[in-house]
Amino acid sequence: MHDERWQYAIIGLVTLDLEGKIVSANQTFIDLVGYSKTELYGNHIEK
């Protein structure tokens, strides 16, 4: 689990698996793209 500093970093951060699927994202990234965690996680980054 990422700490609160990671969640609210000034830049959006996302972690991908080897296939390019989103494994985790910080709150800044989620706010930036306008999708929820459940909509993002498991989907390919290009989607």
- 14 within a domain of the structure (yes/no): yes
Domain count within the chain? 1
Cβ partners under 8 Å of residue 43, min gap 6: 21, 22
- 15 within a domain of the structure (yes/no): yes
Q: What is the pLDDT of residue 2?
A: 59
Does pTM surpass 0.75?
Answer: yes
Confidence of residue 43 (pLDDT cuts 50, 70, 90): very high
Cα-based distances in Å from 30 to 1, 18, 22: 16, 21, 12
Check residue 10 and give left, alpha or beta (phi > 0: left; psi -120 to 50: alpha).
Answer: alpha
Answer with the residue of higher pLDDT: 6 or 17: 17
Residue 14's domain comprises 4-40
